[in-house]
Chain A
Amino acid sequence: MSLLTIRDLRVTYGTGTAAVRGVDLTVAAGRKLGVAGESGCGKSTLALALLRLLPPTARLTGEILLDGEDVLTMKWGRLRAVRWAGASIVFQGAMHSLNAVHRIGDQIAEPLLVHRRATPNAARERVGTLLEQVGLPAARASAYPHELSGGQRQRVMIAMALACEPRLIVADEPTTALDVMIQAQVLRLLERLVTEQDISLVMISHDLAVLADTCDRLAVMYAGRVVEEGPARDVYDAARHPYGRALSAAFPRIGDPASRLAPRGLPGDPPDPAALPPGCTFHPRCPVALPTCASQDPPLAPAAPGHRAACVLTTGSPA
């Protein structure tokens, strides 16, 4: 039984721009899914959609089953109960995601008071435990966000996400703003804690290498759709979709001098969601595009055992 099932999720903004165009994904209990893609591919919209946190102008269709319950059709009261207690989020850029005028201890305790009706004393104790779990002294609870370093703030975000012992944590670019050494520390910490506590993780990043390192499975998004999905190592080492290949080549591999000497970027920019190209949305940038790609948009189909891709070259002969 999977913990999270997303079926044909579509997100359209008021102006008719589709940010997410039919995404199907599943995450089994206790497993980790990485979602990769360039900025603007809809991966952050996807993260916010999971708890219906998008602005009211966004229209959502499809299904987001969290533990069998559809988030999109929940009543507000139930939705509020599920938020943070069922699934919590580690946002990118913890400077802005934490409230600058409240002490971090109070911010970590807030969901405990809301969801568990914890007494102030019990909440304080739990905050201390949580801070120690993420490697910060319990006394830091009285600090304000600006008094902490970037890495410490991100640790606070993680402690906050763990507060109500959720079944799922969504981490949206959790380490983007940090420098490399701190990035690795924070990632290890997050990975260790979710594994220890048997929490499922959906981690969103532009960095395929980081995701491949942390996650069990990987999904690659392009222009609001998943174009490739499979076991993390397979997608990273042997991507089937040309975009997946380009993305994994965009980051140098540790221990592989060839990739460092010849980094392969991808020409062009990701398409404007308001004016998507016809056919396969990737074809204008695709190094191996066929003439038919301009008119045909192939669906996600099996390309290898447990591995799916949306490309005419992997799913059979071009019609």
Chain B
Amino acid sequence: MTSLTWTRRRASAARFWRQYRRQRAGAYGLVALALIALVALTAPLLVGGDVRSVTDAPGTALEAPSGRFPLGTDQFGRSLLGLLLWGARVSLAVGLLAAALSVAIGTLIGILAGHYGGWFATLAMRVTDWFLVMPSLVLAIVLATVMSRSVWTVVLAIGITSWPTTARLVRAQTIAVESRPYIERARALGGGHGHVMSRHVLPNVMPLVLSQTTLCISTAILTEATLAFLGLGDPTVVSWGGMLQDAREAGAVSSGHWWYLAPPGIAIAVVALAFTLCGRAIESVLNPKLGAGR
């Protein structure tokens, strides 16, 4: 890659950033995400790993919020605030990984189908359409049930059920990019399939992939919470969905312990909303006509 290309790319990244900052909701979302990421990364320092320990929990079971336990305690006497902060790690990690997996599959299939066309594209798009009509949540639940209970299972279950939308979008974009004259030039100069796809198509579909990933993360975080709530998550880790399942099993609903239930749900909603806002902001920067609209 020549330095000229890099200068051009840097300039367009700077332009992107200037336009992004003008999207107020997107800026809020980004700030919220930065704070949450900071909490997730520093959780071991803030609360310590022993917050998860059931045996030497500091409080008694199901204490209401107090000065010592701002959010109360769970049925084992563990601090709910500590668990909430710790849970951010798993929820974010699973959300990010699952979205990354899903978008990676979608991008790969989308680019290949868009680039090669022919029978391969027909086949790939048939499979995509077929996945699109599958009820993805049902499929994810089934996969999570079939495989062993672990974080990776959840990542895999979400990742391989949610890629078709990305594949369709990326394929359309690939076809649009490849119809531009400079691709023709690159081919004429002897650029092979790999060269065209990695050097020309990929950089051009990256912005779309970025916005798709961001939107995908919020869905993935919600699906992770759903699976954990159904008891299909990894029972050894603390996640927000798992906390909700614990709360329900501890009878928080019938005894009206709203303070046990409310915080994890709010945390999920805030993170999912923040990613959605960022994704929409990116979308409207990339496509101003859409941006005015959506």
Q: Do A and B touch directly, given a CB cutoff of 8 Å in the complex?
A: no
